[in-house]
Structure 1
């Protein structure tokens, strides 16, 4: 594929939980014939615990420090597609690393779409036992200023994930 020929560093997907970073990331990696890795999966493998358990046991600060170290390791290598957790890009050190050594793509979606998606599973510690729309609206108000620093912005709607992958491919081709 012609697009792959000019990708010389990792592509890092950032955005709120539920936007589809993992699902879209896998499909994007497949289309680009690149490896895919989910930073949350790597964190869980390294810690031997689920993300939710890490949050509950050690707190968010501990989790973010481990997340930064894992993302640093993932970026220190060949081109690949990396899906990050929703808060990763908010961390100053992690964001600086991603902006310096990778190509960040902000996947964005309407709060209603995100709330519907995150309500499907009980695996997200920040929305467990809370109204997803309220939590996501508050997170967007805090985090969108950081996500907006990514050089590529792509809207993810409530349609097929492949539509979002196509929009990413179009943006990469420019």
Structure 2
């Protein structure tokens, strides 16, 4: 004799409770997507869309490229405070250095900028920034900072030091010295 299946209808209150539980799970999942990582990704995407792309020569690490890109964006925005936040040491020199850099390179950072990365980038990398529109050249150092995050060395509170062209850097990106020029 075949088995007969019988369907029972759930009470209306149980259906509502199930629907509420499902809604809570969905809302919790959506809120989890609004974490700090999502905020960082959204901020990066907004910055990327709002700025001229950085041209890169050499072999940056992920961390050195990220902090140099952010430094160029902050220069272009004229945001000395946010630039100082990228400093490796949060001492007395970071804020005046950031103001000096913005004053000297802020307008040029709005246009084409090439970053020439020297050496290997496991914990420190020398980077030469070439500002195409103005012809300015700036040497900076990206390194792992005090909190094990990549940062920029900012120790040029004297405006003449902050805007000085490096004497050793080639006149154009990819010249002698960068690892990519040797290949």
Give the TM-score of the pair, scaled to structure 2. 0.23
Task: Say which structure, 1 or 2, has more relative contact order (CA 8 Å, 6+ apart).
Answer: 1
Structure with the higher helix share, 1 or 2: 1
